[in-house]
Structure 1
Amino acid sequence: MKITSKNVFTVEDGNHTVAPNLILVVRGNTRRFVFRYSENGKRTDKALGPARKLSLSDAKALADELRSKLALGEEIKTRRERKEKENTPDVPVFKTYAIETIDRLQEVKRWRNKKHAQQWRNTIEQYAFPFIGEKPINEITREDVLNLLKPIWLEKNETASRVRGRLENILAYAVTDGILPSNPAAWRGNLDRYLAPQSKVKVVKHFEAMPFSVLQDKVRCLIPANNRTRRVILFTILTASRIGESVPARWDEIDFKNRVWSVPPERRKDSKPFPHRVPLSTQAIDLLNSIERQGEKIFDAPNRKADSRYSLTGLLKRMTGTDATMHGFRSTFRDWCAENGVPEILAEKSVMHQTGNAVVQAYQRSDLLEQRREVMQRWADAVFEKIED
């Protein structure tokens, strides 16, 4: 196919000959011009620049210039290489490029959490800057990436994996910008040849869940629910929710008439743009009715800062004498569902998990509120069964 100014941005992946020695290399969204020639019997490619910055006519003119030099036996140098030789700053160092690229990512990805970009900066500054911070982007190699990852890959695998992923994202922009020919931080077909897979290194630590029979006994520690700690722990158990959803709960999220708690989108871990409805059992409604309203938030004390958080797990362990965590109660609920014939889809929707594959999700749009209402009432009755005997 003849490459023209009209199709240069639409041709499919591959190496396309544009003119003698001039190749258009297309890889996904990356399109760059390369001057290809033979040097000492070895094929050599000189990167001329990305198609979005270098027009087709300019690429041809540059190829003609280099071909003439080649015919005269002169040293082949691209404009970028000549600038580097003259010590003209052309390629930024990693430190500068990384910070600028994180800003670009924040704009493109529309990160909802304001702290997300700062977390990226912190990990890159801590783990990458000491090794490649002052190195020009176009000189970063796979060996550089391995040198910064290997010291932490086994000892801090989760952190190391996160650093690698963020490096790959940042350096992907360098490839797109025509600064790097390939991504030295890519995993497949690259780093996976030198580093053990995360599944073989990472030790998965599950949240300590309290067996249901133990919960039935230990729930006595929360009765009477006469302080904020007992109330929020009990409410979290009864609703099978995350503390990130229950602790900040507000009175205006509770529909007492329909016995529903609507968790707003900003507190949904699955990022869906609408509230998650939680059917409230009789016990949950009674608990809410026992709490005096002292502000907008249900579990906030008047003298506590609005955004303050406190460790419920530590308090829970001291109160119950167990190693159980707050998040573990969700596992307790799921185990109870499995042992008591609760359909999988109802159990999963009750803990705000996605259900089924993309096709199932497209057709199963109902949150099955009324069916879940029966499940949550059965759960609450079971939790309090020994107390009510």
Structure 2
Amino acid sequence: MKCGNKCGNAMPLSARKVETATPGRHGDGRGLFLYVKPSGARSWVLRYQVQGRRRDLGLGPYPDVSLAMARTRAAEARRLIAEGEDPITKKQQAKPKTFREAALELIESKRPGWKNAKHASQWTATLDAYVFPKLGAVQVAKIETADVISTLTPIWTEKPETASRVRQRIEAVIDYASALGIRSGDNPARWRGHLDHLLPKPKKVRAVKHHPALPHAQMANFMADLAKREGVAARALAFTILTAARSGETRGMTWGEVDLEAKVWTIPAGRMKAAKEHRVPLTEAAVALLGQCDEGVPKEALIFGSEAKPGKLISDMSMTAVLRRMERADITVHGFRSTFRDWAGETTGFPREVIEAALAHGIKDKAEAAYARSDLFDKRRKLMEAWASVAAARAPAANVVSLNSGKSA
């Protein structure tokens, strides 16, 4: 680092000059300047360079900071520069941050790397609801284990899944503060070897609440009823069930992702929860629900696009609304993946890894994952055909529609 000194040959300022200086910039030498605004307000700035980048360090306003004090502060900054440090960075690190300030900074730093824009809002929402009321105004450098415990305890047994995410986010914020150099010592929010001795494991607090699912023995009757429903959302729901897909994957499906001849739906990594491309074998029943791909339709055109707003996705509640109209508020769209999993595991001889691959689940066991290099596509096609024979046996292709019409045939 080096200290810039474009005005190194300027005449030093005097106390009288500081008092009477006209609006503009006035140099005292070696990068120290007095800035005078048209209003008459005066402030001190040290201009220097770090790694070829010019920086301006504010030294305070006049007369609170006299000429002598400004020179002393400038000299201290030059000493830091000579030792290889950046005075502005040093000043920022020395300034205490509240937990809220550190958390919001961390969210902004992570935002560009999050593939889903909802992550930032989810972080902010959970911190606003459960952390900021207690820890928001506390200096992040002073947060201790007792503070973390008191924050988590009210939700640890009532909302264990949420509480676990909150703990992880508190830990991340404190780690961020440590990386900035504004905090030292162990992280009081860490789980392993610390909070795991003070709080019960989230999974043991209460059974994990699964999405309500339809018993697989009722699938044929349900699909027959669903086949009578009109509209894009009803078709999308039937397709989601037949492919064991997530609702968001179906809603964002485009014609460019589908190979009708090969009967394959390839979901790009950017639209998958695991950020890994996923191929879905399509049965005849599933293909029938896609409607007609008219000649000239662009690849980016949505298959299950909104009827009210052409070119827009149907809402994430549209398929749920179909269930409500069917008077099936007791089940959820996502629950059909559980129905599929229960059916496949309880009534078929397909290996577990084939079933998990059909659901696009990652393999948690590292040793097993190392050998699972294939997506087991051919075996999955047979599994999905078996599922279609159960789930769609009484669901005729009555919902086939033209892409242009968007209405039931």
Is the structural similarity TM-score above 0.5?
A: yes
Alignment of 1:254-269 (within 5 A): 254-269=258-273
Aligned-partner Cα distance in 2 for 1:324–1:384: 18
- Paired with 1:95 and 1:321, the residues of 2 have a C-alpha distance of 42
Amino acid in the other structure paired with 1:269: K
Report the CA distance between 1:243 and its aligned residue.
0.6
- Within the candidate set 262, 280, 283, 2:282 is matched to 280
Larger Rg over CA atoms: 2
- Give the structure 2 partner of residue 40 of structure 1: none
Matched, 1:98 2:103: yes
Name the stretch that deviates more: 258-267 or 374-383. 374-383
Q: Report the counterpart of residue 327 of structure 1 in structure 2.
A: 334
Q: Report the Cα offset of residue 158 of structure 1.
A: 2.6
Q: Report the 3-state secondary structure (helix = DSSP H, G, I; strand = E; otherwise coil) of the residue aligned with 1:96.
A: helix
1:336 alignment partner in structure 2? 343
| 1:62-99 deviation line (CA, Å, top 9, x unaligned) | xxxxxxxxxxxxxxxxxx9xx9xxxx963223222222
TM-score (norm 1): 0.68
Within 5 Å, which residues of 2 pair with 1:1-389? 90-106=95-111, 110-176=113-179, 177=181, 179-224=183-228, 226-272=230-276, 275-289=277-291, 296-304=301-309, 306-309=312-315, 310-319=317-326, 321=328, 323-338=330-345, 339-355=347-363, 357-386=365-394
Residue-pair matches, total: 301
Partners of 1:372 and 1:386 in 2: CA distance:
22
1:16-68 CA deviation, whole Å, 9 max, x = no partner?
A: xxxxxxxxxxxxxxxxxxxxxxxxxxxxxxxxxxxxxxx9xx9xxxxxxxxxx
Distance 1:167 1:140 in 2: 10
How far apart are the structure 2 equivalents of 1:379 and 1:234? 13
Q: Distance in 1 between matches of 2:108 and 2:260?
A: 44
- Contact 1:317/1:325 (<8 A) preserved: no
- Mapped to 2, the partners of 1:152 and 1:199 lie a distance apart of 14
2 CA distance for matches of 1:250 and 1:147?
A: 48
Cα displacement (A) at 1:242: 1.1
Call closer, same or farther: CA 1:90–1:217 in 2, change over 3 Å: closer
User: Corresponding residue for 2:28?
Assistant: none
CA-CA distance at 1:167 after TM superposition: 0.8
Residue in 2 aligned with 1:7?
none
What is the identity, as a one-letter code, of the residue corresponding to 2:172?
Answer: N
Cα pair distance change 1:235/1:145, threshold 3 Å = same
Question: Distance between the aligned counterparts of 2:135 and 2:391, measured in 1?
Answer: 55
Amino acid corresponding to residue 104 of structure 2 in structure 1: I
* 1:320 CA drift (Å): 5.7
Query: Does the 8 Å contact 1:167/1:185 carry over to 2?
Result: yes
- Cα deviation 1:280-314 (Å, max 9, x = unaligned): 11112222245879881111134226145134234
CA displacement, residues 110-143 of structure 1 (integer Å, 9 cap, x when unaligned): 2222221232233223332222323223222222
In the superposition, relative to structure 1, how do residues 184 and 210 fare at CA in structure 2: closer, same or farther (>3 Å)? same
Q: Percent identity at matched positions?
A: 38
Q: Which amino acid aligns with 1:287?
A: L
Structure 1 counterpart SS, 2:279: strand
Contact 2:96-2:141 within 8 A present in 1 as well: yes
Q: Secondary structure, in 3 states, of the residue corresponding to 1:288? A: coil
Q: Which runs of 5+ in 2 are unaligned?
A: 1-79, 84-89, 397-409
